[in-house]
A and B are shown apart, each in its own frame.
Chain A
Amino acid sequence: MDFLDLFPGLQPWVKSLSEGGLITLFQQAEWLFPVVESFHLLALATLGGCVLVLNLRLMGVGMTSESPALIEKNLRPFLWVAIVVLIVSGLLMGTVVAQRLYSRPAFFIKMLSLAAALFLSLGVVGSVARNGGLITQRAKIMAGVALAIWLFAISIFATTYGPAPGTQHIVYAAWLITMAFGSKSTRIILGAISAVWIVAHFLATFIIWNPSDDYDLVMEIDRWSLRCFALTVTGFMLWEFAGPKSDQSVSPKLTRLIGLLTILVWVTVAASGRWIGLGGGDG
C-alpha cells in the first residue's frame, strides 16, 4: 500500500513538485542532497537521545533518581528542535524525490508511524511526564489511537515485499531494551534462545537451503523465522515491563507501556525511512 494507490488523483501535483526550481538546484549542486540528509541524521540522533532518555524513565529505568517531569522539561527544547529540523530537511529531500516517494510503500509506512510518534511524543508523553505519571483520559485516547495507527503501519511493513526486512530493526530494538533492562533470568533465557535462533536461521537459509537454489523457500523460512522470533521477544518484553512482577513503585504499568511504545514507534519511523531507499522496487 502506498500514496499512489490511495490518492491517484495527486499524480499531477507530485509531478509538478519534481519539476520545480528546487530539483534544478539539487541537480546543479550534487553535494546539496547529502548535506541536507546529514542534517536529517544529526537531528535523528538528537531526537533519539531525547526520546530514549525520557521514555526509558517512564519505563522505570535509566535516570530513575530524577522525576519524569524534570527530564521532560530539560529535554523538551531539544526534542522540538530535532523534530523541526527533521521535518524541514525531510520536506526538502521529499520534494526532490517526490515521484519516487509517491509510489513507495516504505514512505507510506513512515508517514503513518510518524503520525503515531508525534501523537505519542507531543500529545501523550509530555502530559504524562508533567503530571507525575498520571495519565489523563485524553492522553489514554491519544495513546490508543497511536497504538492502532502503529499496529496498522507495522502490519503493512511486515507484509510488503520490498521493505519487509526493515521490520527487523523494531524487533532488535525491543530485544536490546529487554536485554539491557530485563531481569537476570530473562537475559539468560532470551540470550540463549537468540543464540539458537541465529544459528538455526543461518543453517536453514545458507547451508541446508540457499537463496540461489531455493529462493522462494528461503524467503518463506526467513519470514516465518523472523515472525517467531518477534513473538518471542514481544512476550519476554511484555512480561518484563508489564508483567505481574514488574515494579509498580518506580513507574505504573500503563506509564511503562507508553514509554516502551513511544521508543518502538520512533524506531519504526526511522527504520521505514531508511528502507525507502533500501527496499528497492516500487510497490
Chain B
Amino acid sequence: MLHDLFNWFQTVPGATDGDPGTSWAAQLVGSLHLWAVLEATHVLTLMLFAGTIIVVDLRMLGVIFRTVPYSTLNNKILPLTVAGFGLLILTGTILFFAEPLKYYHSVWFRLKMIFLLLAAANIFWFHQRTHKTIAEWDAQESPPTGVRVAAALSLASWGLVIIFGRMIALSSFNCENLKANPVAYAFAECESQMREAIEAEEAYEEEEAAEGEAVEGEATDDSAAPEDPPPEEPAESAPTPAPGDGG
C-alpha cells in the first residue's frame, strides 16, 4: 500500500528513538527556511519551464514567430524548458517527501498528477508521430492540425497542472472536510487516512486511561510502580509555513 509506504517515509527515516517528530520529513517541514526556499524555487521555476513551453506551443499553433522555422525554437528554447522541468521535478519531489501523506491524500495533488501524466503522454505521442514529419511543416506559418492539437493539449494540461498545484493548499478539501463528498472522499483514498486518525485517537485515549489506572494503583500500592515511563507529550508541531499565503 502506497499509504503505508508514505506513512513510513514521513515518520521513520531519520527519526531518533522512534519519535516521528524528528524524522527527516518533519525536520524539512520545520526547517528555518529550507522548505520555503524549495517551495519558492518550485513556483519561480514556472517562469522558466511553463514560460518557455508557452512560447514553443504558440509557435506550433501558428500564433507567434510564424516566419521563424519551428526547429529554431526547438533547438534554442526547448533546452531551457528541459532544464526548468528538471528543476521542477527535483524541488517537487523533495517537497512531496516533506509531507507525503498530505499530498498522497489530496484531491488536487492527484488531479495535478493526472494532468502531468497527460502532458507527458502528449509529448511522447507528439515525438513518436508528428515530430517525424517535421521537415514537411517546419517552415509553415501555420503547422498541420495534428501539431496544433498537440500544442493546444500541451497548453491546456500544463495550465491545469499549475492551477491544481495552487489548489493543493486549499484546506477545505482535506480528507477530514470531505465526508459530505463521497466521490472526492473515495478519489483521495480518504478511508485509509481517516482510519489512521481514528486509530491514533483511540490509542491516545487508551494510553490516557491506562495512565489514569496506573496513578490510582500507585496511590493504593507503592510497590506497583509503572514499568514504562509515562507517555511523552506529543511533539510540538513544527512551525509550518503556510503555502497558500503568497502574494
Write the residues of chain A forming the contact surface with B, with a CB cutoff of 8 angstroms. 30-31, 33-35, 37-38, 41-42, 44-53, 62-66, 70, 74-75, 78, 90, 93-94, 97, 101, 106-107, 110, 165-166, 168-169, 172-173, 176, 180, 211, 218-219, 222, 266-267, 270-271, 273-278, 280
Taking a contact as CB atoms under 8 Å apart, the answer to whether A62 and B76 are in contact is: yes
Taking a contact as CB atoms under 8 Å apart, the answer to whether A45 and B47 are in contact is: yes
User: Cα distance A62–B51 when bound, in Å?
Assistant: 14
Taking a contact as CB atoms under 8 Å apart, the answer to whether B37 and A165 are in contact is: yes
User: Cα distance A237–B192 when bound, in Å?
Assistant: 51
Residues of chain B with a CB closer than 8 A to A37's CB: 166, 246
Q: Mark B187-213, 1 if CB is under 8 A from A, else 0.
A: 000000000000000000000000000
Taking a contact as CB atoms under 8 Å apart, the answer to whether B40 and A166 are in contact is: yes
Taking a contact as CB atoms under 8 Å apart, the answer to whether A274 and B55 are in contact is: no
Q: B153 at interface (Cβ–Cβ under 8 A)?
A: no
Q: List 23 A-B contacts (CB under 8 A).
A: A30-B170, A31-B167, A34-B244, A35-B163, A37-B166, A45-B47, A45-B51, A48-B48, A49-B47, A49-B51, A52-B80, A53-B55, A62-B77, A63-B72, A65-B76, A66-B65, A70-B68, A165-B37, A180-B83, A271-B40, A274-B43, A277-B247, A278-B40
User: Cα distance A106–B5 when bound, in Å?
Assistant: 39
Q: What is the predominant secondary structure among interface residues of chain B facing chain A? A: helix
Taking a contact as CB atoms under 8 Å apart, the answer to whether B169 and A34 are in contact is: yes
Residues of chain B with a CB closer than 8 A to A107's CB: 247
Interface centre among A46, A50, A101, A278 (most CB of B within 10 A): A278
Residues of chain B with a CB closer than 8 A to A274's CB: 39-40, 43-44, 246-247
Residues of chain A with a CB closer than 8 A to B52's CB: 48-49, 52-53
Q: How far is the CB of B52 from chain A (nearest CB, A)?
A: 5
Residues of chain A with a CB closer than 8 A to B36's CB: 165, 275, 278
User: Cα distance A38–B83 when bound, in Å?
Assistant: 23
Q: Lowest 5 CB-CB distances: which A-B pairs, in order?
A: A48-B47, A49-B51, A277-B245, A48-B51, A45-B50
Q: Mark B51-64, 1 if CB is under 8 A from A, else 0.
A: 11111001000001
Closest to A270 in B: B44
Q: Known contacts A45-B50, A63-B72: does B83 contact A267 (CB below 8 Å)?
A: no
Interface centre among B33, B41, B54, B58 (most CB of A within 10 A): B33
Taking a contact as CB atoms under 8 Å apart, the answer to whether B247 and A47 are in contact is: no
User: Cα distance A48–B76 when bound, in Å?
Assistant: 16
Write the residues of chain B forming the contact surface with A, with a CB cutoff of 8 angstroms. 32-33, 36-37, 39-41, 43-44, 46-55, 58, 64-65, 67-68, 72-73, 76-77, 80, 83, 159, 162-163, 166-167, 169-170, 172, 241-247
Taking a contact as CB atoms under 8 Å apart, the answer to whether A74 and B51 are in contact is: no
Residues of chain B with a CB closer than 8 A to A49's CB: 47, 50-55
Contact of B247 among A66, A78, A97, A180 (CB under 8 A): A97
Q: How far is the CB of B57 from chain A (nearest CB, A)?
A: 10
Q: Known contacts A41-B166, A169-B40: does B68 contact A66 (CB below 8 Å)?
A: yes
Residues of chain A with a CB closer than 8 A to B73's CB: 63
Closest to B242 in A: A277
Residues of chain A with a CB closer than 8 A to B244's CB: 33-34, 277
Interface centre among A47, A48, A110, A273 (most CB of B within 10 A): A48
Taking a contact as CB atoms under 8 Å apart, the answer to whether B247 and A276 are in contact is: yes
With A48-B50, A222-B32 given, can you name 16 additional A-B contacts, CB distance below 8 Å? A41-B43, A45-B162, A46-B51, A48-B51, A50-B51, A51-B47, A65-B72, A74-B68, A106-B247, A107-B247, A166-B37, A169-B37, A180-B80, A180-B83, A277-B242, A277-B244
Taking a contact as CB atoms under 8 Å apart, the answer to whether B163 and A75 are in contact is: no
Taking a contact as CB atoms under 8 Å apart, the answer to whether A38 and B77 are in contact is: no
User: Cα distance A165–B36 when bound, in Å?
Assistant: 9
Residues of chain B with a CB closer than 8 A to A45's CB: 46-47, 49-51, 54, 162
Taking a contact as CB atoms under 8 Å apart, the answer to whether A42 and B163 are in contact is: yes
